[in-house]
């Protein structure tokens, strides 16, 4: 019994020193670039809202596009809580026992819930709109095959909402501990990330 208690206390002490970073930001701003850099160069594990939702969307036989992601995410939040998806991933991150990333944070409820758990830091990233559209055209994922007008409309839908279960990127980004501007080179973004990591 004493040995088990010691192990539990030791595990708790380790978890207090873990960093769990949430990523929020506009479409095509560079959230994935930040995740890749943290994973490859700083050893962070990655837990993705997109990956979590993809499994559900495919199970339901829905088309894998942005509308499906938004609809399913909003439905899950409405059925459970506004922070449900992020908290599911946060639980997995804590169990992993390593520095982790939860990508991407889209509601104020998610920020509030995760921040209340301690050792959570929110990174936000933004870039010029036309540059971001150019990037999504180049990466050409299933959800990115849209014209500029649709891109703008999708973004406007996700930027603001009075419904706590729906995306509100503007409000989330205002709550960030660190905000990165990604209009330049990879190295310029990496320097911003390293500076933030040195402080947390």
- The model's pLDDT over 82-139, given as tens digits with 9 standing for 90+, comes to 899 999 998 988 888 899 999 989 999 999 999 998 889 999 999 999 999 999 999 8
- Tell me, what's the pLDDT at 9? 39
CB atoms within 10 A of CB 93: 25
Distance between the two ends of the chain, CA-based, in angstroms? 35
- Tell me, what's the pLDDT at 166? 87
Q: What is the mean pLDDT of residues 44-66?
A: 93
Domain boundaries, the chain: 13-195
pLDDT-derived band at 11 (thresholds 50, 70, 90) equals very low
CA-only gyration radius of the chain, Å: 17
% residues pLDDT > 70 (the chain): 91
pLDDT-derived band at 16 (thresholds 50, 70, 90) equals low
DSSP assignments along 171-183, one per residue? HHHHT-SEEEE-S
CB atoms within 10 A of CB 125: 26
According to CATH, the superfamily of the domain at 13-195 is P-loop containing nucleotide triphosphate hydrolases (3.40.50.300)
- Tell me, what's the pLDDT at 140? 76
CA distance 21 to 162: 25
**Cα-flanking dihedrals φ and ψ of residue 184, to 5°?**
-115, -140
Q: Is there a contact between 200 and 121 (Cβ–Cβ < 8 Å)?
A: yes
Q: What is the pLDDT of residues 24-42, one digit of tens each?
A: 999 999 999 999 999 999 9
Mean pLDDT (the chain, rounded): 88
- Tell me, what's the pLDDT at 27? 92
Q: Helix crossing, 31-42 with 186-199: angle to 10°?
A: 60
- Tell me, what's the pLDDT at 141? 75
């Amino acid at each position: 019994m004493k040995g088990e208690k010691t192990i539990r206390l030791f595990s708790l002490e380790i978890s207090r020193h873990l960093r769990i970073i949430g990523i929020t930001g506009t479409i095509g701003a560079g959230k994935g670039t930040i995740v890749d850099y943290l994973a490859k160069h700083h050893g962070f594990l990655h837990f993705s809202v997109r990956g979590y939702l993809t499994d559900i969307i495919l199970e339901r036989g829905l088309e894998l596009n942005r509308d499906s992601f938004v609809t399913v995410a909003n439905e899950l939040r409405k059925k459970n809580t506004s922070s449900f998806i992020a908290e599911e991933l946060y639980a997995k991150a804590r169990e992993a026992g390593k520095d982790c990333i939860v990508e991407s944070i889209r509601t104020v409820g998610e920020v509030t819930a995760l921040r209340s758990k301690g050792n959570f830091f929110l990174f936000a990233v933004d870039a010029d709109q036309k540059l971001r559209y150019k990037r999504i055209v180049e990466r050409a994922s299933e959800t990115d095959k849209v014209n500029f007008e649709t891109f703008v409309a999708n973004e406007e839908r996700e930027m603001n909402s009075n419904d706590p279960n729906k995306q509100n990127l503007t409000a989330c980004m205002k709550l960030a501990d660190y905000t990165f501007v990604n209009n330049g080179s990879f190295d310029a973004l990496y320097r911003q990330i390293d500076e933030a990591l040195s402080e947390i």
